[in-house]
Amino acid sequence: MTKLEEEIKRRRTFAIISHPDAGKTTITEKLLLFGGAIQQAGAVKAKKTAKYTTSDWMELEKERGVSVSTSVMCFEYNNHIINLLDTPGHADFSEDTYRTLSAVDSVLMMIDSVKGVESRTRKLMEVCKQRDIPVITFINKLDREGMNPFDLIDNIEKELDIQATPMTWPISMGKTFKGIYNIYNKQYLRFNTTDKSFTPIDVNNINSPEFINLISENDHKKLIEDLDMINGAVDKFYYPLYKDGLQTPVYFGSAINNFGVLDLLDAMIKIAPEPQPAPAIERIVAPDENKVTGLVFKIHANMDPKHRDRIAFMRINSGVFTRGMKLFSHRLNREIKIANPLTFMAQDRSITEEAYPGDIVGIHDTGLIKIGDSFTEGELLNFTGIPNFSPELFKKVIVKNALKSKQLTKGLNQLLEEGAIQLFKQVLDNQLVLGAVGELQFDVVKFRLQNEYGADCNYLPYSIAFAYWIKADEQATIDKFIYENKQYLAMDHMDNPVYFFRGNWEVEHLKELYPKINFYKTSECKEKDRI
């Protein structure tokens, strides 16, 4: 095996998705603790203050360091390199989250055992399913009286339309929580409620008096019944199904008590896929190709208007990246020397000498790089997989002082390149419409337009439910559709036409009226995204 192949094999790049309060921050911290990347609990928590208000977010962003370095957390566990990509899941929810999912090979989904599947998780899982991303599930907070574990499995299957298969199984819950039984390696992880410690115990004979004694007769009876039921009625873990995003292995635990976290980490290493081939328009790029390729999926702006430098996050898709390399961008039609590439070890960022497929490298950028840019050693390649999704909130934007329209256009274009917002121009009157998935995105854009570009703007409400991209086999069909529906048509920043829907009712109506027009949920207009 070459060094490159070896390094690929030991990498896992993933993101955690969850609804606010399910325990994402807590599990992140525990993973970092087990990975030795941080020394004490509380280190990740510091970031939480940023969640709630715009002004908090601004303050924090001004200090920059914190959120940049927690965007990617890299740590070592059991001779593996784990790249954990942060997906803001709170008030600061934005399209950044969606794009981050295009830079990972798998996802960890956290579910609160008391609440089951919640709305944010549902939304994020839709994106995972669109991309066939493999998902491991962690059901958290077993130290609380939660839902019945079978109901939880059922809840995941029904709500998320994915097969769920338990890998571990809880023995009781809440105050009487005894621990978990690992169905596959037949190990009992005992939970000690008094000091919250845990002990792994191999169970050679599940009916032995020692084991029954440990968990009590009642709980033993229940466990045997549950396991019988699982055996008879639940689909077994089957790797190809997991890999295709059709089945999710489920682990139970309690993040705050470190409980079940090691099983999870072991699963990440054993089950989660290593860096996968990356699709480009021209061809599919295998990670073990010798030439370096990479894709920029996120840009982090400096909030200080005096220093308009940014950090572009590039996922390495193939080859061995070394410091000082010159990489070519097809879009820019030029090479960029990457003199001081950054890597991110939990709280710190440092200059890296080398990076491998699956790793994320931070590139200092003075405003050249755009989200979605592909870099190579000269080949003309354009990676796909970072489309725009339909925004859920829309606002018309008006500059307060007409003399500042130039600044507004410049600012909006820059913010667009960073992926901070989506911009549409209405066909009827050239009115600019901003689209976002979180309210905070609008506040941030307004703040930045004023502070960095001197363009004071106002928003006008615009009640649109979603925007779908349109395509047809013949241009004439599109032209006719645009002509007849000008009022709700707009062009995105790449000049692709989108239709602004006012509600679901309109979709069927328009499909019936215009059978030759296809509507797509993303700007890439892939068959899978067609509605």
Please say whether the beta carbons of 396 and 462 come within 8 A: yes
Q: Which of these ranges, 15-23, 205-213, 495-503, 510-518, lies near ligand G4P under the rule CB under 6 A?
A: 15-23
Q: Which of 21, 56, 288, 354 binds ligand G4P (CB under 6 A)?
A: 21
Say which residues have a Cβ less than 8 Å from residue 18's Cβ, sequence separation at least 6: 24, 89, 109, 110, 111, 120, 121
| 118 near ligand G4P (CB under 6 A) | no
Contacts 24+ apart (CB under 8 A), 429-432: 431/396, 432/396, 432/397
Cβ distance to ligand G4P smaller for residue 144 or 243: 144
| 87 near ligand G4P (CB under 6 A) | no
Q: How far apart are CB 346 and ligand G4P at their closest, in Å?
A: 16
- Please report, for residues 87, 142, 146, 386, the alpha-carbon distance to residue 90 in angstroms, rounded to integers and kept in the order given: 9, 23, 23, 22
Q: How far apart are CB 238 and ligand G4P at their closest, in Å?
A: 29
Q: How far apart are CB 144 and ligand G4P at their closest, in Å?
A: 5
| 143 near ligand G4P (CB under 6 A) | yes
Cβ distance to ligand G4P smaller for residue 15 or 342: 15
| 120 near ligand G4P (CB under 6 A) | no
Q: How far apart are CB 118 and ligand G4P at their closest, in Å?
A: 10
Q: How far apart are CB 23 and ligand G4P at their closest, in Å?
A: 4
| 47 near ligand G4P (CB under 6 A) | no
| 140 near ligand G4P (CB under 6 A) | yes
Describe the crossing of helices 149-160 and 119-130 by its angle, rounded to 10 degrees. Answer: 60
The H or E element containing residue 119 is: helix 119-130
The H or E element containing residue 280 is: none
Please say whether the beta carbons of 431 and 425 come within 8 A: yes
Q: How far apart are CB 47 and ligand G4P at their closest, in Å?
A: 9
Cβ distance to ligand G4P smaller for residue 27 or 386: 27
Q: How far apart are CB 85 and ligand G4P at their closest, in Å?
A: 15
Q: Is 295 helix (H, G, I), strand (E, B) or coil?
A: strand
Q: Which of 91, 206, 246, 256 binds ligand G4P (CB under 6 A)?
A: 256
Cβ distance to ligand G4P smaller for residue 121 or 518: 121
Q: How far apart are CB 54 and ligand G4P at their closest, in Å?
A: 18
Please say whether the beta carbons of 161 and 245 come within 8 A: no
Q: Is 355 helix (H, G, I), strand (E, B) or coil?
A: strand
Cα–Cα distance, 212 to 233 (Å, whole number)? 25
| Alpha helices (H) along 35-118 | 54-63, 65-69, 95-100
| 124 near ligand G4P (CB under 6 A) | no
Q: How far apart are CB 201 and ligand G4P at their closest, in Å?
A: 21
Binding residues for ligand G4P, rule CB under 6 A, total 16
| 144 near ligand G4P (CB under 6 A) | yes
Q: Which of 268, 325, 257, 299 is nearest to 113 (CA)?
A: 257
Strand partners of residue 501: 466
- Quote the tokens at residue 41: 């609990």
| 23 near ligand G4P (CB under 6 A) | yes
Q: How far apart are CB 253 and ligand G4P at their closest, in Å?
A: 7
Cβ distance to ligand G4P smaller for residue 142 or 314: 142
Q: Which of 26, 94, 248, 258 binds ligand G4P (CB under 6 A)?
A: 26
- Please report, for residues 177, 202, 353, 384, 430, the alpha-carbon distance to residue 487 in angstroms, rounded to integers and kept in the order given: 59, 68, 53, 31, 11
Say which residues have a Cβ less than 8 Å from residue 409's Cβ, sequence separation at least 6: none
Q: Which of these ranges, 57-65, 216-224, 253-261, 481-489, lies near ligand G4P under the rule CB under 6 A?
A: 253-261
Count CB-CB contacts under 10 A for residue 519: 20
Residues 190-219, one symbol each (x = binds ligand G4P by CB under 6 A, - = not), give ------------------------------
| 56 near ligand G4P (CB under 6 A) | no
86: amino acid identity, one letter: D
Cα–Cα distance, 63 to 194 (Å, whole number)? 41
Q: Which of these ranges, 178-186, 252-260, 405-413, 419-427, lies near ligand G4P under the rule CB under 6 A?
A: 252-260
Q: Is 381 helix (H, G, I), strand (E, B) or coil?
A: coil
Q: How far apart are CB 93 and ligand G4P at their closest, in Å?
A: 11
| 97 near ligand G4P (CB under 6 A) | no
Please tell me the number of Cα atoms within 13 Å of 310 on its side-chain side: 21
| 446 near ligand G4P (CB under 6 A) | no
- Quote the tokens at residue 350: 């440092």
Q: Which of these ranges, 24-32, 354-362, 443-451, 515-523, lies near ligand G4P under the rule CB under 6 A?
A: 24-32
| 182 near ligand G4P (CB under 6 A) | no
- Quote the tokens at residue 233: 């009625």
Binding site for ligand G4P (CB under 6 A): 18, 20-26, 140-141, 143-144, 254-257
